[in-house]
Amino acid sequence: MSFIKSNSVIIKNKEFVPYINSVELDDIVNKTAEDIYAYYKDIVNEDKPLIIIGVLNGAFMFLSDLVKKLNIHCEIHFIKVSSYEGTETSGKIKNIIGLNRNIIDQQILIIEDIIDTGLTIHNLINELYNHNPKEINICTLFFKKDNYKSEKIDMRFVGKEILNKFIIGYGLDYDNFGRNLNEVYILDS
């Protein structure tokens, strides 16, 4: 159960304090949309649209705000993978919902809420490359550079590099609570 107490949020006896407000989030989304448009505007068209794959559950708010600002031909699909248990990444990947679209020779853009250790995105990219896309690019709202442990992956579109701290809000959760917050909060230590 969660509730807002003055400026903080309490979830399961953990206190989260303000970290990134809605104005800064909107600026991040706008800049990221501009970068994506600049990269893809001459590559995709109605016959070969950009295939956007949102990683559920966390990326839903970011993806929703982002695609509203993209003035390019695109399709939106979702895949569900997970590696978190509580506030720690488990390192174990679970593919729960798969992609049902043929992606052979297609431009793919994966939308993530956060890249932490990199294990989830690394495994997802390997799985998608088995389907022979033309190109796969990564777009993440947040990147914990100091916690990244996976093989080097070119993350073409990074909204913001953040501290190696646990955050909630704007789609990110703690045990499924806090996703609905319109700002980002950081675990108070």
Report the catalytic residues: 116
Report the interhelical angle of 60-67 vs 22-40 (nearest 10°).
60
Q: Rounded to whole angstroms, how far apart are CA atoms 135 and 158?
A: 17
Residues 25-62: b if buried by 16+ CB within 10 A, e if exposed: beebbeebbeebeebbeeebeeeebbbbbbbbbbbbbb
